A and B are shown apart, each in its own frame.
Chain A
Amino acid sequence: MKQIIQVSNVKTIFGEKVVHDGLNLSINEGEIYGLLGPSGCGKTTLLREMVMLQKFHHGEIDVLGHNLSSIDHDDAQTLRKEWGVLFQAGALFSSLTIAENISLPLIEYTNLSRKMIDEIVAFKINIVGLNINDAHLYPSQISGGMKKKAGLARALAMDPKLLFLDEPTSGLDPISARDFDSLILELRSLLGLSIVMVSHDLQSIYDTLDRVAIIDNKKIAYEGTLANISASDSPFIKTFFGKYNE
């Protein structure tokens, strides 16, 4: 199996606080990979480091064959077109409508005709399960769940190989959350995506993830499939997964 992301010996320090002290993990092509851990353990920080929003202090991160510590501007731009990122609250551009949000990368990076772009946008809106009639609404006019779906549609606009999701189901009601999970599974099989996500939602973790990394106490406490997780003796894993396994 081909590895698309490789994190080796990453250290992160905020001021005097050490967040990561030598993280190692690798993510394979085509899998849905979860970053889990107690709050404040630096899951989102690691995700932000993978998408070049945050610098790390030591170690290496390789994403799609690019080493992030030595990447130059042009390579970084190419890389950014190959992934999609869904932020926790969607992070839609508030001055643009949903359709404009989704079409923005297409307008900026391609020379497709307006008509073609509109068709692509309509397709992406359909694929994430939004209503095409809502496309002209502004982010302030839609619900949290719709924002996430629109954010997902925008992340998928350029047909990325790799998708990063930051707590995709947080803030959704249980029914929408389960719908979102099945949407993610469906998209993976439809589009052949590799997905990296941070999640707290146990149900979603069991339903969607192929493999997980658990960050606890600045280190990786466990990496592997969920089936073997009870073998680990981290206190976080015991309390978090204990009930579910009973």
Chain B
Amino acid sequence: MSNSTLKLTQTDGTLKLDFSGELTLFTLTTHQETVESIPFSNKSKLEINLEKLTYLDTAAAIFLDNIYNSFSKKGVEVSLIANNQDILDTLELVKSKKGMHKPIKHKKDITPIESIGKYVYKHFVGFLSFITFLGELFATKMHYLKSFKNFRFKEIAFEINESGIKAIGIIALTSFLIGLVIAYQSAFQLKIYGANIFIVDMLGISILRELAPLITAIVIAGRSGSAFTAQIGAMKITEELDAMRTMGFSPHKFLVLPRILALMIVMPILIFIADIMGIIGGMVVANLDLGISSELFLDRFNEVIAAKHFFIGIVKGPFFAFLIATIGIYRGLMVKNDTQSIGFNTTKSVVESIFAVIVCDAIFSIMFTNLGI
């Protein structure tokens, strides 16, 4: 890249700018600084000489045009000397198109109250649209419950495999480790009081009632909730959902209901597996740390843990599954026509579904305790 040079010559009242070489984007800034630093008060004439210039790009032409305009405005007589037709054309092009750029409007300032109002309104509308989605879901459910043929058994089976059977490994491992950790921490405390055997009561109730359902729900929310959002979001971007609608295939029937039903069917089974693995984890610690043999553990378990604890945990399953699936799918349907919103909505879907599961669990907890179960 050959450089351009700028030569300044000053005589009384006249300033000469001689450009030579290639004046482009890359060499512009130094010249700009030079020109700006010229003490310009007593000059009445400016001469810009471009005769030795071999090439001028549009950015540099804008620069020259700016010099021309700003000095003309100050009442200086500006003359431009050039002989290269290409350069003149470039200058002419810039001159004719430059005026067309209107200054970009900046967003007007908004007051804090206005922004709070907008924020609240946005979330209110979001909440309303979720309620609309639930209503629509209910309406299609009613519509499709009319006939047994409308259940998409193939899709339901596929989803059971995808989000249920394939999740068994991770759920088994997580709940085993949780059982292990809980048992290990409480074993230490129980040993102080010599209350070793009560580890069975503690583990039994806490895992069956609360931990297994929650752990399962959290794993499923992270695994399937996010997958639902991303799948449906991508289908929305590629217009697959629109294509389905125009063909008269309701996305609710084909995509939404099978996923919700599959998750509701499979969740209690996963919780059951989590129960077993959590208790096994506790049993291992009880055996190694507290010297409680597995026979003794299971005897005691049979004696003190009522079946209701197990059923409470299982009953929560379909409710959690419904929350996770509906939020995941709703978020998928909320994806706009850009790829960024897939990421945004996937994050939201996981966060919101875990939050919803915990709120639901709290409600169950209070309800069951007050009912005396």
Q: A-side interface residues toward B, CB under 8 Å?
A: 48, 51-53, 73, 76-77, 80-81, 83, 85, 87-89, 91-94, 104-105, 108-109, 151, 154, 164
Instruction: State in angstroms the CA–CA spacing of A154 and B286 once bound together.
Output: 63
- Taking the nearest CB of chain B, how far is it from the CB of A129, in angstroms? 21
Q: Is A80 within 8 A of B143, CB to CB?
A: no
Instruction: State in angstroms the CA–CA spacing of A203 and B238 once bound together.
Output: 27
Residues of the A chain whose Cβ atoms lie less than 8 Å from the Cβ of B239: 87-89, 91
Instruction: State in angstroms the CA–CA spacing of A92 and B247 once bound together.
Output: 12
> Residue B86 at the A interface, CB < 8 A?
no
Centre residue among B235, B242, B243 by max chain A CB count within 10 A: B243
Total contacts A to B, CB within 8 angstroms? Answer: 49
Q: Is B238 within 8 A of A83, CB to CB?
A: no
Chain B positions 228-280 with a Cβ under 8 Å from a chain A Cβ: 234-235, 238-240, 242-249
What residue in chain B is nearest A166 (Cβ atoms)? B239
- Taking the nearest CB of chain A, how far is it from the CB of B353, in angstroms? 23
What residue in chain B is nearest A78 (Cβ atoms)? B248
Q: Is A89 within 8 A of B249, CB to CB?
A: no
Residues of the B chain whose Cβ atoms lie less than 8 Å from the Cβ of A88: 239
Q: Is A91 within 8 A of B240, CB to CB?
A: yes
Q: Is A87 within 8 A of B248, CB to CB?
A: no
Residues of the B chain whose Cβ atoms lie less than 8 Å from the Cβ of A73: 143
Contact among B143, B242, B248, B249 for A91, CB-based, below 8 A: B242
Residues of the A chain whose Cβ atoms lie less than 8 Å from the Cβ of B245: 52-53, 80
Residues of the A chain whose Cβ atoms lie less than 8 Å from the Cβ of B234: 94
Contact among A80, A89, A104 for B246, CB-based, below 8 A: A80
Residues of the B chain whose Cβ atoms lie less than 8 Å from the Cβ of A94: 234-235, 238, 240
Q: Is B243 within 8 A of A85, CB to CB?
A: yes
Q: Is A77 within 8 A of B248, CB to CB?
A: yes
What residue in chain A is nearest B234 (Cβ atoms)? A94
9 A-B residue pairs with Cβ-Cβ distance under 8 Å, sorted by A, are A83-B246, A85-B243, A89-B239, A91-B240, A92-B243, A94-B238, A94-B240, A104-B249, A105-B247
What residue in chain B is nearest A109 (Cβ atoms)? B248
1/0 per residue, CB under 8 A from A, across B325-337: the answer is 0000000000000
- Taking the nearest CB of chain A, how far is it from the CB of B170, in angstroms? 24
Instruction: State in angstroms the CA–CA spacing of A151 and B239 once bound together.
Output: 12
What residue in chain B is nearest A158 (Cβ atoms)? B247
